[in-house]
Chain A
């Protein structure tokens, strides 16, 4: 299987798994093509561009700027405001024991792997000390790195902050620059943050377990630090992520069913560097088709290849192109082109009988109301 995945990727650009992409492996299980590409850690935006679909992704520099600005504020003056937020819950800011790993092991563009490995080692040490009771309450780890695996794939995680001792437990803290608006955060943002922090909690639990220590030291209640209302003053929001954590545990251990996908696809690769330029797009299209895409409209907001898959779905008349309710109604129909015929009264096969009946009901009702 390793070999098949390596062949699939070839020399193309690879990406590292992070918290977001790791959790996507658990939740987006419908599309085999995406699954194969994600497990092979292929950069889908490059594939999309090669197919002629510019995904218009990437974060706006303004959003990035705000994120950095807010983080700086939270960490200013030895994490003053963060500690103020944690103190009411028992965090002892007076005995501060701050480990700023971003400072200790600064990033350099050409040795990113080494940097993260170093930070991971320091993080592990700092946490083990906590678990063994050798760390002072008031320990704050900034920029902790965790190494984790999902299925068999390594995931690189960078946690905004880890705080000990808060209510008897080690807390994951995630700093976000979107605001808490009069007590509310939009659902999608809460869901995304839930999965991200659930991955961190899982990784921390596994870390402790691997050292023979008690994983329940990590709290499943995480903290989000967000701007309060319209300003930039940090507010702390408590959120329970045990539902997502449980799902993650239940599914992370399931063998990612690549074998089936590989069997059906055969030997394919998305590396078209050796293919004649005029044939690259068609070759890629064939490869994606063999991997088994399953397009649905929500792909447009989550996957870089959505534009391509939508175009294929439209051409083929794939009933899922308009979403779940339309798909449900066209159950039994092989293509939308066929659906149109049945709507007009074409003879139906047994599978199509229910749809044809609904179509007949509609024609009748439309006729009835004209009278």
Chain B
């Protein structure tokens, strides 16, 4: 099975990256550029290629990430791809060194940075480092996951970077605070506004986007785009059929989990529907259903075929399956269910914590399952987007009947933010309806 359209897509993707790298040849101090990257479009890959490009022009490069895990992953990846490049990973004091290749130096005292040309750290660490760095500046600050960064953080560290390049996924979870931020609602000074929207208020910037998602399979790209990325143009890197999961083991007769697994492997999506019941949020039956789908996949020996590599021979390992939910108590229920079914090694976490990660199969607890009211939290478009865009092969939604009725009953009135073209509560509601509508043909009654 060739992947000719897919190959064309990959060519477009490569051309875009080349264009962005070429642009890096010239850098105006005071310039800001944004690259939008839908899920799985190679955001981090772009960053790791931009770094050496800038270094080649004799520039000092600061890389700003949002979490320590992201900083560690990026440092490691950069170090492997550029073995001759010296990279500094700046960490908080007392940080547990997770181990890096030799060309990565770990240090916590900003004053000791010397003339390192590449420094990777979290936004918070950069905030603390500013005071110690005096007049030192970096020619360019590369912000990874710019849409997850609170714009307010740049106030602390902005002085350090002469120019900014932001890379981010506009569809995912926004920064938020436990504190009531009504005081600044709708104002440009709102410290919880993400970095991209914040800077947009102050200046114009160059705007590009990555045109291909390498992660999402062909049957997902169109739906995901319609639901979460209306303003972006992108396609999948593979054609239908170029990437497949094949089952070796036979389906267990009469098993709902098997029927769901079959559906997911065939269509790339499946909705497992449990009967309507009034249950608390940590719905044990849903947890059990989700875990048993994972178990079915593991027991039946699923083999992966990847993009034009026409042999079925890469076995689906437990670590490539994820069970995702909205709440920690649901995650606890999933863990308990997984344990009782004897499955180990499967990733189980909240959408917040699954952000940025990638799997072959994702089994997602539908955020609205069992809810009596579609609250802003559950309707949040970012949460649904994260759950629906982690997979390379298939995504299964697990929920009870009644979600469409709930949505119909809870038409949102809007967030009431002056001048915003997108209303996240309304977009989220529409994304939920669209997803359920598009996937109706993949429904399996449990």
Contact = CB atoms under 8 A, between A and B. Distances in A.
A20 B422 CA distance: 22
Nearest to B185: A187
A244 B413 CA distance: 8
A354 B422 CA distance: 39
Contacts of B280: 329, 331, 354-355, 358
Contacts of B415: 187, 191
Contacts of B373: 324, 327-328
A18 to B, nearest CB: 17
A183 B411 contact: no
Interface string A225-263: 000000000000111101110110011000000000000
Nearest to A244: B414
A327 to B, nearest CB: 5
B418 A190 contact: yes
A194 interface: yes
A309 interface: no
Given A183-B187, A190-B418, A331-B370, A247 B426 contact: yes
Contacts of B277: 332, 351
B111 interface: no
Nearest to A251: B411
Contact of B416 (A190, A237, A354, A358): A190
A183 B201 CA distance: 14
Contacts of B410: 29-30
Given A184-B187, A247-B426, A251-B411, A332 B416 contact: no
Nearest to A182: B187
A238 B414 contact: no
Interface string B399-440: 000000000111111111111111100110010000000000
B408 A351 contact: no
Interface string A174-210: 0000000001111111110011000000000000000
A27 interface: yes
Contact of A328 (B187, B372, B430): B372
Contacts of B412: 27, 247
A26 interface: yes
A318 to B, nearest CB: 13
Interface in B367-420: 370-373, 375, 408-420
B260 to A, nearest CB: 24
B421 A184 contact: no
A189 B413 CA distance: 12
B418 A239 contact: yes
B245 to A, nearest CB: 35
A186 B186 CA distance: 9
Contacts of A332: 277-279
Contacts of B320: none
B49 interface: no
A329 B421 CA distance: 35
A176 to B, nearest CB: 12
B414 A243 contact: yes
A191 B186 contact: no
Contacts of A242: 421
Size bracket of the A interface: 35 or more
A240 B370 contact: no
B267 interface: no
B281 interface: yes
A303 to B, nearest CB: 15
A184 B372 CA distance: 33
B418 A331 contact: no
A67 to B, nearest CB: 20
Interface string A3-32: 000000000000000000000001101100
Nearest to B373: A324
B197 to A, nearest CB: 14
Contacts of A354: 278-280
A186 B408 CA distance: 27
Contact of A243 (B186, B187, B409, B427): B427
B420 A240 contact: yes
Given A324-B375, A327-B373, A243 B279 contact: no
A187 B279 contact: no
Contacts of B422: 243
Contacts of A246: 426, 430
A247 B411 contact: yes
Given A26-B411, A185-B186, A331 B375 contact: no
A150 B186 CA distance: 31
A311 B221 CA distance: 51
A240 B417 CA distance: 10
A191 B413 CA distance: 7
A189, A237, A243, A332 pick with most chain B CB within 10 angstroms: A243
Interface string A249-289: 01100000000000000000000000000000000000000
Nearest to A187: B416
Contacts of B278: 331-332, 351, 354
Contacts of B411: 26-27, 29, 247, 251
B20 to A, nearest CB: 30
Nearest to B188: A183
Nearest to A334: B278
A188 B415 CA distance: 8
B185, B409, B413, B430 pick with most chain A CB within 10 angstroms: B413
Contacts of A250: 430
A195 B419 contact: no
A332 B412 CA distance: 25
Contact of B186 (A183, A324, A328, A329): A183
A29 B409 contact: yes
Contact of B413 (A27, A185, A328, A358): A27
Q: 7 shortest A-B CB distances, which residue pairs? A: A187-B416, A332-B278, A243-B423, A190-B416, A324-B373, A191-B416, A243-B426
21 contacts: A27-B411, A27-B413, A29-B409, A30-B409, A184-B187, A187-B186, A188-B416, A191-B414, A239-B418, A244-B423, A247-B412, A250-B430, A251-B411, A324-B373, A327-B372, A328-B373, A331-B278, A331-B279, A354-B278, A354-B279, A354-B280
Interface of B: 185-187, 277-281, 370-373, 375, 408-423, 426-427, 430
Given A191-B416, A194-B416, 6 more contacts: A29-B410, A187-B416, A195-B413, A328-B373, A329-B280, A354-B279
